[in-house]
Amino acid sequence: MLEVERSTVVRWERGETEPLPWIRPKLAKALGVSAGRLEELLSSASTAESDDAGPTVPRQLPAAVADFTGRAAELAALTRILDDASAGTPGTVVISAIGGTAGVGKTALALRWAHQVAHRFGDGQLYVNLRGFDPSGAPAKPEEAIRGFLDALGVPAERIPPMPDAQAAQYRSLLADKRMLIVLDNARDEQQVRPLLSASPGSLVIVTSRKQLAGLAADDRARLLSLDVLSHAEAVQLLTGRVGQARTAAEPGAVTEIATLCACLPLALTVAAARAASRPGFPLSAVVAELRDSAGRLEILDSGDASASVRAVFSWSYRQLGDQAARMFRLCGLHPGPDITAPAAASLAATSEPETRRLLRDLTRDCLITEHSPGRYAFHDLLRAYAADQAHDCDGEPDHAAAVGRVLDHYLHAGHAAAGLLDPTRAPITLAPPGPGIVPERSVSYQHAMAWFAAERHVLLAMVALAVRSGSDSHAWQIPWTMMPFLARQGQYQELAAIQGTALAAAIRLDDMSAQAESGRLLASSLTIIGDHGQALSHYANCLKIYRQRGDRLVRPRSTEGSASWPNARAATLTRWVTASRPFAFSRPSATRRWRQTCSTTQAGATVNLATTSRPERSASRHLP
Ligand SMILES: Nc1ncnc2c1ncn2[C@@H]1O[C@H](COP(=O)(O)OP(=O)(O)O)[C@@H](O)[C@H]1O
Ligand SMILES: [Mg+2]
Which ligand is closest in space to the CA of residue 241?
1
- Mean pLDDT calculated for residue range 585-611: 35
The atom number, within ligand 1, closest to the CA of 269 reads 12
**Mean pLDDT lowest among 93-102, 412-421, 519-528:** 93-102
CB crowding 144-155: b at 16 or more within 10 Å, else e: bbbbbbbbbbeb
pLDDT given for residue 582 in this prediction: 39
Residue 444: pLDDT above 60?
Answer: yes
Residue 197: pLDDT above 90?
Answer: no
Answer yes or no: is the C-beta of 103 below 6 A from any ligand 1 atom.
yes
Distance 241 CA to ligand 1 centre (A): 14
Residue 162: pLDDT above 50?
Answer: yes
Distance of CA 520 to the CA centre of its chain: 24
Answer yes or no: is the C-beta of 68 below 6 A from any ligand 1 atom.
yes
- Mean pLDDT calculated for residue range 164-169: 89
The answer to whether residues 267 and 102 touch, using CB atoms and an 8 Å cutoff, is yes
**Burial environment of residue 512 by CB neighbours within 10 A (0 to 12, 13 to 18, 19 or more):** middle
Distance 580 CA to ligand 2 centre (A): 50
Answer yes or no: is the C-beta of 266 below 6 A from any ligand 1 atom.
yes
Q: What is the CA radius of gyration of the chain?
A: 28
> How does DSSP assign 226-249, residue by residue?
EE-PPPHHHHHHHHHHHH-HHHHH
pLDDT band at residue 343 under the 50/70/90 scheme: very high
Which ligand is closest in space to the CA of residue 72?
1
Residue 551: pLDDT above 80?
Answer: no
The answer to whether residues 533 and 527 touch, using CB atoms and an 8 Å cutoff, is yes
The answer to whether residues 285 and 251 touch, using CB atoms and an 8 Å cutoff, is yes
Residue 556: pLDDT above 70?
Answer: no
Question: What angle is formed at CA 18 by the lines to CA 15 and CA 19, rounded to 5 degrees?
Answer: 135
pLDDT given for residue 80 in this prediction: 85
pLDDT given for residue 2 in this prediction: 61
106 vs 424, more confident: 106
Distance 255 CA to ligand 2 centre (A): 26
Distance 99 CA to ligand 2 centre (A): 14
Residue 416: pLDDT above 70?
Answer: yes
Tell me the residues surrounding ligand 2 (ion) with CB < 5 Å. 107
pLDDT given for residue 520 in this prediction: 95
**Nearest to residue 116, comparing CAs of 58, 175, 171, 181?**
181
The atom number, within ligand 1, closest to the CA of 69 reads 3
Which residue owns the Cα nearest ligand 1 atom 15? 105
pLDDT given for residue 612 in this prediction: 26
pLDDT given for residue 34 in this prediction: 74
The atom number, within ligand 1, closest to the CA of 71 reads 1
Fold held by 329-394: Arc Repressor Mutant, subunit A (1.10.10)
Which residue owns the Cα nearest ligand 1 atom 9? 105
3-state secondary structure of 1: coil
Fold held by 400-552: 1.25.40
Which ligand is closest in space to the CA of residue 100?
1
The answer to whether residues 345 and 378 touch, using CB atoms and an 8 Å cutoff, is no
The atom number, within ligand 1, closest to the CA of 266 reads 12
Answer yes or no: is the C-beta of 69 below 6 A from any ligand 1 atom.
yes
The atom number, within ligand 1, closest to the CA of 241 reads 4
pLDDT given for residue 598 in this prediction: 41
Answer yes or no: is the C-beta of 107 below 6 A from any ligand 1 atom.
yes
Answer yes or no: is the C-beta of 112 below 6 A from any ligand 1 atom.
no
**Mean pLDDT lowest among 54-68, 135-149, 153-167, 563-577:** 563-577
Answer yes or no: is the C-beta of 71 below 6 A from any ligand 1 atom.
yes
Answer yes or no: is the C-beta of 62 below 6 A from any ligand 1 atom.
no
- Mean pLDDT calculated for residue range 216-237: 87
Residue 616: pLDDT above 60?
Answer: no
**Nearest to residue 459, comparing CAs of 283, 549, 339?**
339
Answer yes or no: is the C-beta of 209 below 6 A from any ligand 1 atom.
no
pLDDT given for residue 93 in this prediction: 57
**Mean pLDDT lowest among 39-48, 77-86, 332-341, 527-536:** 39-48
Which range of 239-253, 422-436, 566-580 scores highest in mean pLDDT? It is 239-253
Residue 221: pLDDT above 70?
Answer: yes
Answer yes or no: is the C-beta of 270 below 6 A from any ligand 1 atom.
yes
pLDDT given for residue 296 in this prediction: 76
Which ligand is closest in space to the CA of residue 237?
1
79 vs 86, more confident: 79
**Mean pLDDT lowest among 43-57, 115-129, 389-403, 590-604:** 590-604
468 vs 173, more confident: 468
Ligand 1 pocket test target in 380, 381, 384 with most atoms within 8 Å of CB: 380
Question: Which parts of 357-404 are beta strand (E)?
Answer: 370-373, 376-378
618 vs 531, more confident: 531
Distance 378 CA to ligand 2 centre (A): 12
Identify the DSSP state of 369: S
Which residue owns the Cα nearest ligand 1 atom 4? 68
> What percentage of the chain has pLDDT greater than the value 90?
52
- Residue 396: left if φ>0, alpha if ψ -120 to 50, beta else—which one? beta
pLDDT band at residue 43 under the 50/70/90 scheme: low
- Mean pLDDT calculated for residue range 186-204: 85
Distance 109 CA to ligand 1 centre (A): 7
- Mean pLDDT calculated for residue range 65-86: 88
Residue 566: pLDDT above 80?
Answer: no
pLDDT given for residue 576 in this prediction: 53
- Mean pLDDT calculated for residue range 126-135: 89
Which residue owns the Cα nearest ligand 1 atom 8? 105
**Mean pLDDT lowest among 132-146, 280-294, 575-589:** 575-589
pLDDT given for residue 229 in this prediction: 92
The answer to whether residues 521 and 515 touch, using CB atoms and an 8 Å cutoff, is no
Which ligand is closest in space to the CA of residue 104?
1
pLDDT band at residue 87 under the 50/70/90 scheme: low
**Nearest to residue 262, comparing CAs of 247, 273, 246?**
273
pLDDT per residue over 282-318, tens digit each?
A: 999 999 999 998 877 776 656 667 777 889 999 999 9
pLDDT given for residue 337 in this prediction: 86
> What percentage of the chain has pLDDT greater than the value 70?
79
Answer yes or no: is the C-beta of 202 below 6 A from any ligand 1 atom.
no
The whole-chain average pLDDT of the chain stands at: 82
**Mean pLDDT lowest among 128-142, 224-238, 457-471, 494-508:** 128-142
Which residue owns the Cα nearest ligand 1 atom 13? 267
611 vs 310, more confident: 310
Which ligand is closest in space to the CA of residue 110?
1
pLDDT given for residue 512 in this prediction: 95
Which ligand is closest in space to the CA of residue 131?
2
Cα distance between residue 244 and residue 240, in whole Å: 5
pLDDT given for residue 72 in this prediction: 95
Residue 273: pLDDT above 80?
Answer: yes
pLDDT per residue over 512-548, tens digit each?
A: 999 999 999 999 999 988 888 889 999 998 988 888 8
281 vs 471, more confident: 471
- Mean pLDDT calculated for residue range 39-54: 55
Name, in order, each residue with C-beta under 8 angstroms of 332's C-beta and a sequence gap of 6 or more. Answer: 340, 345, 348, 363, 369, 377, 379, 384, 387
The atom number, within ligand 1, closest to the CA of 380 reads 18
pLDDT given for residue 613 in this prediction: 27
The atom number, within ligand 1, closest to the CA of 230 reads 1
Which residue owns the Cα nearest ligand 1 atom 5? 68
pLDDT given for residue 550 in this prediction: 80
Residue 116: pLDDT above 80?
Answer: yes
**Mean pLDDT lowest among 123-137, 303-317, 440-454, 536-550:** 303-317
pLDDT given for residue 178 in this prediction: 85
The atom number, within ligand 1, closest to the CA of 210 reads 22
Ligand 1 pocket test target in 69, 94, 96, 107 with most atoms within 8 Å of CB: 107
In CATH terms, is domain 72-227 a member of 3.30.70.20?
Answer: no
